[in-house]
Amino acid sequence: MTCELLKSLHYLAQPERSRLIVAGIFLSDGQAALVDRKNSVLIVTDIDQETYEEVNLLTILPEEYQCVTDTVASGYDVKSFAKKGARNALHVDSALPQPSDVNRCPGSDNMLVVTFTCPDHSIAVKCELHLKKGASLASRLSRVLHVRIRDRTRTVVSLSDGVFIASTPDNVVVLSEIGDNLGMHRRGKRDRGGLLMTDGHDKVYFGDGDFFVGCRWSGNFLQEMFRFQHKRMKFPRGSAIDGSGCILVCCDDSHSIFRLNADGSRGEVIYFDRSKSFGDVDVHPDGRRILVTFWTENEWPLIFRQNA
């Protein structure tokens, strides 16, 4: 199995501002949804037509985090937000949450979880994105509920209806939708900003130091299924399941993309580029094309294709 680079999404560049696109997923219609952390926007793009629209993600934050001026309702203006209680502030407060990840909710084509980081905690916002055409993106994105995570985490995923998993510095924690701790798995190494991934049922995957770990949620505790290690695997960050059920893993420090079999017993490098520190990854509905993002300013997302 090999991996071929098809294109860069450089068309997302804008001359008047830089971007920091840190995470992305494919939607059920084949469009990509990307988190631009620097500008706090969600970009929804047709990667074939190279068109896109974006929406201010601060609009889905819980009310206690924002003081919104009347100009926000008209569209995109990050500067109109500040923490609630600020006196007519028209600037971004240093403690205002910043978006750091986006994931699909299991069993739904249009439910997403967006993670926001704060200096000492994080927020996961479950939201609905209507895919219908003809309406603005801002009118199609709405908050359903939110979960506050006491520790700072870059990533939260929905494991099932009402159950979320967060990757904190020392643990992988299972939470209810009201924030109650339902279980946890102790990390071997302190988290460096890796991402969680779920299979949409009862399994969750994450990097732990230079290992890649798969766990199953029993309803009461997280049981480790496998702990994969490879001499070329350094700081696994993002992961996704491809059309054949194999697991794709992006590694930051080793500049590699791995492909593991479903039970984590074997794995191989399918792409290497010493100039790239790979971050998040997701698989297109066609099962072959993959999207890779980075935690580097103006490093544009890449589209790859898996070849047998």
pLDDT per residue as tens, the chain (308 positions): 788 999 999 999 999 999 999 999 999 999 999 999 999 999 999 999 999 999 999 999 998 886 543 334 344 444 433 434 433 333 344 468 999 999 999 988 889 999 999 988 999 999 999 877 677 887 889 999 999 998 889 999 999 889 999 998 899 999 999 989 999 999 999 887 788 999 988 999 999 999 999 999 999 899 999 999 999 999 999 999 998 999 999 998 889 999 999 999 999 999 999 999 999 999 999 999 999 999 888 899 999 999 87
Report the pLDDT value the prediction gives residue 160, as an integer from 0 to 100: 87
What tokens does 152 get? 């700072």
87 contact partners, CB below 8 Å, separation of at least 6: none
Say how many domains are in the chain: 1
The pTM for the full model equals 0.88
How far is the C-alpha of 308 from the C-alpha of 296, rounded, in Å? 30
Report the pLDDT value the prediction gives residue 90, as an integer from 0 to 100: 33
| CATH number of the domain encompassing residue 252 | 2.120.10.30
For 194-235, strand residue ranges (E) read 197-198, 203-208, 211-217, 222-228
Selection from 164, 226, 165 nearest residue 194 by Cα:
165
Cβ contact 111:127 at 8 Å:
yes
Report the pLDDT value the prediction gives residue 67, as an integer from 0 to 100: 57
What tokens does 68 get? 């919104």
**Angle CA(78)–CA(79)–CA(83) in degrees, nearest 5?**
90
Q: Please report the DSSP string for the chain in residue order.
A: -EEEEEEE-GGG-BTTB---EEEEEE-TTS-EEEEETTTTEEEEEETTTTEEEEEEGGGGS-GGG----GGGGGS--GGG---TTSSS--S--TTS-EEEEEEEPTT-SSEEEEEEE-SS-EEEEEEEE---SSS-HHHHEEEEEEEEESS--S-EEEEETTEEEEE-SSEEEEEETT--EEEEEE-SS---S---EE-SSSEEEEEETTEEEEEEE-SS-EEEEEEE--TT--SEEEEEE-TTS-EEEEETTTTEEEEE-TTSS-EEEEEE-TT-----EEE-TTSSEEEE--SSTT---EEEEEE-
Domain hosting residue 57, numbered range:
2-84+91-307
Report the pLDDT value the prediction gives residue 138, as an integer from 0 to 100: 78
Report the pLDDT value the prediction gives residue 87, as an integer from 0 to 100: 36
